[in-house]
Structure 1
Amino acid sequence: MPPLLDFVPVASSPATARPRLIVAITGATGAVYGVRLLQVLRESSVDTHLLVSSAGWLNIRQELGLERGEVESLAAVTHSVRDVGASIASGSFATMGMVIAPCSMKTLAAVAHGMADNLITRAADVTLKERRRLVMMVRETPLNLAHIRNMEAITLMGGVIFPPVPAFYQRPATIAELIDHTLGRVLDILGLPQTLNAPWLGLDLKRGRVESSAGE
């Protein structure tokens, strides 16, 4: 009996010369985190694949006053969220991971429950199943129990829940410094070199007195 299919060997695809990172911007407030991340990575050796939800575009215009073309020009490739047949919808398309900045509670819930209903949630699902790094900059407060359980589900699947909580121990003087400090930590998690903030080297005793408390 002849074989059902006549398989012809094909050459394997060449390894990409530049790492790829998926960046998604959804409808939570904080569009500046995604846009600033694109700006930083544009000057690096990383190719960014951009996804923006419809609500994400609304926030970009409302919060930053930017037009669509200005943001898309920062990415190596821009995909429509409706294009579920795009390259990043498949695990065979190698990436170093995905950052959702900011991540709405709707997107968090969809990824937590495996609802790959658009390219953002599908790409996140692929990132998790391929055991790649997924960083979700969730933005909401206060949190209800559904939010917390969805964050737990993502964590158990190997994702990183990264609320963009500002840090003040390096005495930031501007909002831009707060944003860069947060994104520097994101780049650290991804294993990418960054110069947005310096590592913490311990308390600077010249800048303040340290008092020991009872019981220490």
Structure 2
Amino acid sequence: MSVEFSRRVTLAITGASGVQYGLRLLQCMLSADVQVLLLVSRAAQVVIATETDIKLPGQPDQQEAYLSELYGAREGQLKVYGREQWMAPVASGSGAPTSMVVCPCSTGSLSAIACGASNNLIERAADVVLKERRQLILVPREAPYSEIHLEHMLKLTRMGAVVIPASPGFYQRPASVEEMVDFIVARILSQLGLEQSLLPRWGENLL
């Protein structure tokens, strides 16, 4: 008997600072009974080791086991694919989920996606989402943005992608880094149409 999940989403974590956003999003989606097809770039593995205490293994199957245990995923709920695993569902429009999030999205990934490079599975998965007119959410974390970065964001927005810069607000008076991370993750979850309790909607429970 196959296991059913509420949704299926592709999540790519690339090598920009701010991997906490991607990892927290992963945790929240798994808690919401979403099946996640996860892609982690080599650069992201370096950033994870630098910015967190997570000891992420190097191989996709090991990453899958480690993160499934860390976040309490159900059997089959988390699938991790390598950068050249071209038979993964995300590599084709016939098997890919209807939504993909790149969080955080490095400016290198932003450029490759905007140009349709498809040199690795992350870039190919994003290309599939765009060509199939599905939902693509990009979360860049860079400062300042150059004209090149802004041009790529404008180009992708015109293609139908949604750009959510990792720029947390402060009207909810965050008391911790975790609450600042949750601000952005809540916005992503809302874009995906998933219920979230990380951040009240505007006008609710505000001082």
Contact kept in structure 1, 2:21 and 2:103, CA below 8 Å: yes
Matches within 5 A, 1:47-196: 47-68=35-56, 69=63, 70-71=66-67, 73=69, 74=71, 76-196=78-198
Aligned partner of 1:23 in structure 2 is 11
Contact 1:26 1:56 in 2 (8 A): yes
Larger-gyration structure (1/2): 1
For each residue in 1:163-207, what CA deviation from the matched residue of structure 2 results, as whole angstroms up to 9, or x when unmatched?
Answer: 110110111111111111110111111111111111011795xx5
Name the structure, 1 or 2, with higher relative contact order (CA <8 Å, separation 6+).
2
Question: Cα distance 1:187–1:203, how it changes in 2: closer, same or farther (>3 A)?
Answer: closer
Unaligned runs of 5+ in 1: 1-13, 208-216
Name the count of aligned residue pairs: 191
Large movers: runs of 4+ above 6 Å: none
* In structure 2, distance between residues paired with 1:201 and 1:113: 40
Aligned residue in 1 for 2:59: none
Q: Work out the CA distance in 2 between the residues paired with 1:118 and 1:88.
A: 11
Task: Please state which structure has a larger fraction of its residues in helix.
Answer: 2
Tell me: CA distance 1:192–1:45, structure 2 relative to 1, closer, same or farther (3 Å): same
Tell me by how many angstroms 1:18 deviates: 3.6
Q: In the aligned structure 1, how far is the partner of 2:174 from the partner of 2:185? A: 14
Cα distance in 2 for partners of 1:145, 1:28 equals 18
**Identity across matched positions, percent:** 40
Aligned to 1:10: none
Which of 14, 22, 25 pairs up with 1:37? 25
Q: Which runs of 5 or more structure 2 residues have no equivalent in the other structure? A: 57-62, 72-76
Check whether the contact 1:135–1:162 (CA below 8 A) recurs between aligned residues: yes
- Assess if the C-alpha contact under 8 Å between 1:103 and 1:138 holds in 2: yes
Q: Which letter does structure 2 place at the counterpart of 1:71?
A: L
